[in-house]
Structures are given as C-alpha cells and as structure tokens.
Amino acid sequence: MEAKENTQPGPGGEIWIPAGALYGPQTARAIENFPISGWPLPRRFLAALGYVKQAAAAAHKNAGRLEADLADAIIAAAAEVVRGELDGHFPVDVFQTGSGTSTNMNANEVIAGRACQILNRPADAVHPNDHVNMAQSSNDVIPTAMQVAAAVALHDELIPALRKLRDALQAKAQQFDHVVKIGRTHLMDAVPIRLGQEFSGYAAQIEASLAALQVAMSALCELPIGATAVGTGLNCPVGFAADVCLFLAEELRLPFCETANHFAAAGARDLAVQASGALRQTALAMGKIASDIRLMGSGPRCGLGELHVPTLQPGSSIMPGKVNPVLCESVIQVACQVVGCDAAVAAGATGGVGSILELNVAMTMIAWNLLTEIQLLSGVTQAFREKCVVGLEANEQRCRQLIEQSLAMITALAPKIGYDRAAEIARRAYASGLTIREVCRREAVLPEAELDDLLDAKKQTGA
C-alpha cells in the first residue's frame, strides 16, 4: 500500500499513514498499539459520534466561536460519519485506551481531514483538536456517544420489536384460552392450567421488560457532554452542553438533556449498568419463554407434544424427518450471550476496575457490549415472533390426554376426602396404571356427579 510519512512530533515518534487515509497520526498510532481483536466500534456508536461532532460544530457556529465555513464543513463531514460513508477510516480496536481517546481522536482526525477536502483547502486548515474537538474531551464525548447510540437503538429497534412480540404473545393467550393442559412444577405433574394462561404470563414478562427498558432509555438521555476532562467543564463555554443536547434532541427526536451532575457522569457508568440490567432482564425473560415453548413442543411423539412449533428446516444430517425448535435455540443462545455482555458491562463499571476517581476507563468495552446486547436482542426478538410465536398451534388432543392421566388431578378431591386419603388414592393409581377417575369410581370414593364436577379440569383453572 502506498504510504505517506507524517512527521508530526508526538509520543512514539514519526508514524506512517496509508495514502488516502483521512485519519492522522493519533489514529495510526492507535492501530499500531492495539492489534487486539479486530473489532471496530459498532456502526451505531460511530453514527452517534458523528451526531455529537455535528452538534458541537453547530453550537460553536451559532455562538460565533467557529467560523461559519469551517463549521459547515465539519458538519458535512460528520454527516458522512453518521451515514456510514467513512467507516473504512475508523479502524481503531474496541480494546484500546479505556477513555476512548483513540476513537475520539480518530473521529476528530477523519472529520478534520474530510472537512479540508470539502473546503478544498490544505490538510491543516481544519484542526482535529482546535476545531472538531473544541470545548470537548474524550471523557465526555465517548460516554455521550455511547448513551446516544444506546438510547436510539432501544427506541428505534428493540422496544418496537418487543412490543410486537408482546402483542403476538397476547394474541396467542386469547387463541389458547380454551385449551386446558396439565401444569408442571419441578418438571413434575401439577394441577391443570389453561395454555392461554401460560401465554398471558409470557406477555406480562415482556411487558415488564419493556417498562424497565423505557426507564433505562429515559435515563440514558441525560448526557455527560460539558463535563470535559474531570467534570468541572474546563474550557467549555456556558451553554455549549445545552446547545449540543438541543441539537441531538431535534435531530434524533429523543429528550436529550445535560446531566444534572457532571462528576457522576464522568466518573461512573451507572446508566450503562442500568440499561444493561434491563437488557439482561429482557434476555432472561425471552430465554424462559423460548425454553418453555421448546419443552411443550418436544416430541413429536415421545415428548410433551402440547404445542406444534413451526417447521423451519431439517433438523439432522443423519436422522431423516427430524425437525428441531431452532428459533427457540437461537433465543436461548442470545440470552446466554447477553448475560455475558452484561457481566462485562458490570465489571467495567466496577470501582478499581473501570470506574476510578474522576473517570471510567472501560468505556469502549462497555459501549461495545451494551450495543451488542441491543443488537442481538432486536434481531432475535423479530425472528422469534415472525418465525415461531405467530405460527404456534396447540395440540388439544394431547393436552386432554395428559390431563386425564395426571395423578395431580387428585388435588381437587383433597378438601372433600382429606390429604392422606387423596395421597393413598394417587399411590394406588400410579401402581395400577389407572387414572385418578378410574380408581375413585372403582372405590366409590364420591358420587359420580360430584366426582365429575371436582375432576372438571377447566374449573380447576379458575375459569
């Protein structure tokens, strides 16, 4: 690759930069120093970073702190960052300096370089620090971009997907409300329940997750911009942070505002922890729902077989005709990954690890994991609803069969005949292979009409 030599002095000496690269020496040094994972910052993060740089330039232009032509070029270059047109110029690894200084300077250099091209001026006409980074620090820009990216992703992707999943589960709850099946606790037979009641519980779990995510999204909208290096706002003009937040709120249609306390916003990542916790709650709820559907659909002949799960693809390379609950398995794997990402976020926010005195130093790692959680859950939520939940059907014949065979049906007779006698009848039914109804009839435990009434499974579900 053709290269050009940059002789700008700095730590580490001279550094070579590929021809055509918009970035400068700080980015090149970061590429050299952090050949760790090959993972760049997520697309949504880079877009948010572009919005922050746009907002800053617009604020400075409106206040007369930045010449209009320079500001307009910075805004135009940052817009290209937002649209993803310059992603190839953002190669810095996630696992870098924990403040994200390398990524902030990557953005500053790329935007400055592109702005010079837009202006058709020399490469030093727009300065990465003096112009693009004016009144900012990596210590407030990176967490601001993280929170903007997460709030937008929640608002635009995950929350709408979860609402549709909740509605689909509620629709199944109504569709299955008449289907009575055996309940199970400890994976053992329990008293009857309606399949619709189970699905109403699933819908309620998603509704609770939505409530938690809404709270987290609102909290993320309180931005750290204006803190600069340590929360004091050094070199930040009065009103700058409010202007940036107003720009972001108007562009992204979310209620972004300046944080009430810049010291907490710079020194800790509590809002990321809160959001990640809500995402973990969502993942665990979806994992439980998918696990239940997978179990109820097990079979088709030798499992529970209470649900017909949509057939999507062959399930085995050796067993012809085998079909597996692949979407349920996808959800469960995503749930596991989200739990792992949440653990990384929590560790990164822990005092002595990431949050130390005036600055958290695990910000890019936290941002990557937080945004990965949202991306994974958004994708799997949509697929799970479209390809599994909406196509579920009840196997009513199997549900009736299992209810009649269940020894737990004796529970409804216990108030009439006593717990001990009921337990003895259940033991005899199990030993003989008979149903509870058959044993009670043989032994004339109760009059036939009363027995039938008490063993009415639907009445036992509170219907």
pLDDT at 119 over 90: yes
Q: Which of 77, 59, 256, 49 is nearest to 146 (CA)?
A: 49
Task: Let me know if residue 244 belongs to a domain.
Answer: no
Residue 369 has pLDDT above 50, yes or no: yes
Give CA–CA dist 22/123, Å, rounded.
10
Q: How high does pLDDT run on average in the chain?
A: 96
Question: Any idea of the CA torsion for 108, 26, 225, 269, to the nearest 10 degrees?
Answer: 140
- Residue 9 above 60 pLDDT? no
Q: Is residue 280 part of a domain?
A: yes
Tell me 408's DSSP state: G
Question: Do residues 385 and 421 both lie within one domain?
Answer: no
CA distances to 111, 120, 144, 269, 300 from 56, in Å = 12, 22, 12, 22, 60
Q: What is the pLDDT of residue 3?
A: 42
**For the chain, what is the radius of gyration of the CA atoms?**
30
Question: Residue 413: its pLDDT value, please?
Answer: 97
pLDDT digits (tens, 9 = 90+) for 284-315: 999 999 999 999 999 999 999 999 999 999 99
- Which SS3 state, helix, strand or coil, does residue 269 take? coil
**Residues contacting 386, CB < 8 A, separation 6+:** none
Specify the pLDDT at position 248: 98
Query: What confidence category does residue 14 fall into, taking pLDDT thresholds of 50, 70 and 90?
Result: confident
The mean pLDDT value for 261-272 works out to 96
Q: Is residue 24 part of a domain?
A: yes
Residues of the domain holding 111: 3-134
Cα separation, 102 vs 106, in Å, equals: 6
C-alpha closest to that of 105 among 140, 83, 81, 133: 133
Q: Does 86 lie in the same domain as 46? A: yes
Degrees to nearest 5, angle at CA 322 with 320 and 327: 140
Query: What pLDDT does 238 receive?
Result: 97
Is 207 found in the same domain as 346?
Answer: yes
Same domain? 163 vs 286:
yes
The enclosing H or E element of 387 equals helix 363-387
Residue 54, token pair as written in the block = 């746009």
With 0.85 as the threshold, say if the pTM is over it: yes
Q: Looking at residues 416-425, what average pLDDT do you find?
A: 97
Q: Sorting pLDDT into bands at 50, 70 and 90, what band is 8?
A: low
Kindly state the average pLDDT of the residues 348-356.
92
Whether residues 375 and 436 share a domain: the answer is no
CA torsion angle for 410, 414, 420, 423 (degrees, to 10)?
Answer: 10
User: Is there a domain that residue 434 lies in?
Assistant: yes
CA separation for the pair 224, 52 (Å, rounded): 12
Give ∠ CA 91-17-141 in degrees, rounded to 5. Answer: 45
- pLDDT (tens digit, 9 = 90+) per residue, 194-214? 999 999 999 999 999 999 999
CATH code for position 204 = 1.20.200.10
Over residues 327-340, the mean pLDDT reads 98
Name residues whose C-beta falls within 8 Å of residue 426's C-beta, 6 or more positions apart in sequence.
407, 410, 436
Residues marked as catalytic: 186, 316
- For 333, counting Cβ atoms within 10 Å of its Cβ (0-12 exposed, 13-18 middle, 19+ buried), the class is middle
Domain boundary among 351, 376, 396: 396
Same structural domain for residues 149 and 277?
Answer: yes
Domain end call among 134, 161, 193: 134
Picking from 100, 134, 168, the residue at the C-terminal end of a domain is 134
Is 243 within the bounds of a domain? no
Confidence of residue 352 (pLDDT cuts 50, 70, 90): confident
| Structural tokens at position 390 | 């909406």
Q: What is the pLDDT of residue 7?
A: 47
The answer to whether residues 270 and 363 belong to one domain is yes
Question: Distance of alpha carbon 9 from its chain centroid, rounded?
Answer: 43
Comparing CA positions, the residue from 78, 216, 49, 240 lying closest to residue 149 is 49
- Please name which of 82, 113, 99 lies closest in space to residue 30, comparing C-alpha atoms: 99
**pLDDT at position 348:** 97
Residues 449, 354 within the same domain: no
Does residue 452 sit within a domain? yes
Tell me the mean pLDDT in the region 261-290: 97
361 with 414, same domain? no
Q: What are the tens digits of pLDDT across the range 158-179?
A: 999 999 999 999 999 999 999 9
| Residue matched to tokens 């994991």 | 369
Task: Provide the terminal-to-terminal Cα distance of the chain, rounded to the nearest Å.
Answer: 74
Residues 122 and 158 in one domain: no
Q: Cα dist. 87→17, 233, 353 in Å?
A: 17, 30, 30
Give the DSSP H or E segment for 226: none
CA angle 163, 166, 170 (to 5 degrees): 140
Is 50 exceeded by the pLDDT of residue 400? yes
Predicted local distance difference test score (pLDDT) of residue 1: 32
Is residue 401 included in any domain, yes or no?
no
Give yes or no: residues 124 and 148 share one domain.
no
For residue 2, what pLDDT band results from cuts at 50, 70 and 90? very low
Identify whether residues 314 and 335 lie together within a single domain.
yes
12 pLDDT band (50/70/90 cuts)? low
For 434, the token pair is: 């008979």
Q: Which residues are bridge partners to 93 per DSSP?
A: 40
CA 428 remoteness from chain centre: 51
Reference 439, options 407, 416, 462, 402; nearest CA is 407
Contact yes or no for 227/140 (Cβ under 8 A): yes
- Across 37-57, average pLDDT: 98
Segment 409-437 mean pLDDT? 97
Question: What is the percent of the chain where pLDDT is above 90?
Answer: 95
Averaged pLDDT, 61-85: 98
CATH number, domain at 57?
1.10.275.10
Give the Cα separation of 364 and 102 in Å (integer): 10
Enter the tokens of residue 318. 């050796």
| Number of structural domains the chain divides into | 3
Q: At 425, which CATH number?
A: 1.10.40.30
Residue 348 within a domain: yes
